[in-house]
Structure 1
Amino acid sequence: MTEIEQLLTRVADKARNTRPWGWTSLPEPVDAATVARAEAALGFRLPQLLTDLYLRVGDGGFGPEYGLLPLLDSPPADEPAAVTQYLANRESARKDPDWPWPEGVLPISHWGCAMYACVDCRSPHATVLFFEPNADDADHAWYVDAPSLADWLRAWVDGTGWYEETNDGLQMAPWADLRIRTASARAS
């Protein structure tokens, strides 16, 4: 069994046995057609590990804090689907260029107060970013939560994420690529 297969098994086990805030049950996984519709709406492919989570574990409803967002359609939880939130964030960025939303950065988990964990679908390891819009400006609103989606999931399964009460001292580094990734969007 590969390391990713082992991680998916551990995530699935924890997902079956814990509920994030606001979720009463684990939604059924999506099918391949739903993933294809989501990617068509987004205009880019999802990282394989993220696709596997939605295809094999559930359509959201597991993970840290409020859990993963549903991918395309909103099930009983009041959370918007990841695709819907991404498209809304990109549209807002077009209206307010001082608060850019980078292309390919998909919000996957809501943290409350408009904060999101996001997967950079353009990075080779699917870097997980943290968006904190309560900052003074966009340059201070983006942080690297984990170098990869696999690392982010391991932190959740192992209880070592920055959001755990026992890890108050952990801090995230600012995302240095924000302006690089949004410069072309501002020019167009």
Structure 2
Amino acid sequence: MTENEQQLLTRVAAEARNTRPSGWTSLPAPVDEATVTRAEAALGFRLPPLLAALYSRIGDGGFGPEYGLLPLFDNPPAGGPAAVTQYLANRASGHQNPDWSWPEGVLPISHWGCAMYACVDCRSPRATVLLYEPNADEADHAWYVDAPSLADWLRTWLDGTGWYEDDEGAAEPTPWTDFRIRTTAKAS
């Protein structure tokens, strides 16, 4: 992990100790390395180092924008799913409706409400954060790039500059053009 990511973790930890997202009354304890390893085994891919550090150094969810990060395995207090559970369910549901297949390696990490999720593309080198917006008319229009990296996504939360803020100048997510490539590649 880079020095900048270490500094970012320090900022995130301070914010996580001082604020609670909707539905959370306390910050859960961090998970141990065995839990991260178990999550990676269940998912079939490794978590990006910064994401693993969020869970293992700060808390098992319960911090971040809106409803906060999802826990890896346990249900959050607001009754939503855990990240691993949601990913596996989303991947399984794609077999029922191929037009709405869930891309491999795209882990939901935060629920926005209305079935929308912030997701980390664990296959991208920078851990791109994607917005899944299933209320779109077509599957191609359900995926957006929220931030070029997980670090950038965390900074927008800390700085109050995310698209979800009331700030008129906040950048809107752009369409994720790799959706079809990433969902049709598994079918071949």
For structure 2, the 5+ residue unaligned runs are: none
1:166 aligns with 2:167: yes
Q: What RMSD, in angstroms, separates the aligned Cα atoms of the two structures?
A: 1.2
For structure 1, the 5+ residue unaligned runs are: none
Structure 1 contact 21–67 (Cα < 8 Å) conserved: yes
Give the CA deviation at 1:186: 3.0
Give the CA deviation at 1:141: 0.2
Equivalence for 1:94: 95
Q: In the aligned structure 2, how far is the partner of 1:167 from the partner of 1:143?
A: 19
List per-residue Cα deviations over 1:33-55 (Å, max 9, x = no partner). 10011000000000000000000
1:150 aligns with 2:157: no
Does the C-alpha gap of structure 1 residues 169 and 27 become closer, same or farther in structure 2, counting only changes over 3 Å?
Answer: closer
Give the CA deviation at 1:168: 6.0
Q: In the aligned structure 1, how far is the partner of 2:182 from the partner of 2:135?
A: 21
Does the C-alpha gap of structure 1 residues 186 and 167 become closer, same or farther in structure 2, counting only changes over 3 Å?
Answer: farther
The percentage of counterpart residues that share the same residue type is: 74
1:1-188 matches, within 5 Å, as: 2-167=3-168, 170-187=171-188
Give the CA deviation at 1:116: 0.1
Query: 4+ residue runs of structure 1 moved beyond 3 angstroms?
Result: none
Equivalent residue letter for 1:51 = A
Q: What secondary structure sits across from 1:153 in the alignment?
A: helix
Structure 2 contact 12–154 (Cα < 8 Å) conserved: yes
Q: What secondary structure sits across from 2:98 in the alignment?
A: coil
Q: In the aligned structure 2, how far is the partner of 1:59 from the partner of 1:79?
A: 14
Structure 1 contact 118–130 (Cα < 8 Å) conserved: yes
Give the CA deviation at 1:94: 1.0
Q: In the aligned structure 2, how far is the partner of 1:169 from the partner of 1:11?
A: 20
TM-score (norm 1): 0.96
TM-score (norm 2): 0.96
Structure 1 contact 82–107 (Cα < 8 Å) conserved: yes
Structure 2 contact 70–76 (Cα < 8 Å) conserved: no
Structure 2 contact 69–110 (Cα < 8 Å) conserved: yes
Equivalent residue letter for 2:83 = A
Give the CA deviation at 1:169: 5.4
Q: In the aligned structure 2, how far is the partner of 1:76 from the partner of 1:135?
A: 28
Equivalent residue letter for 1:17 = N
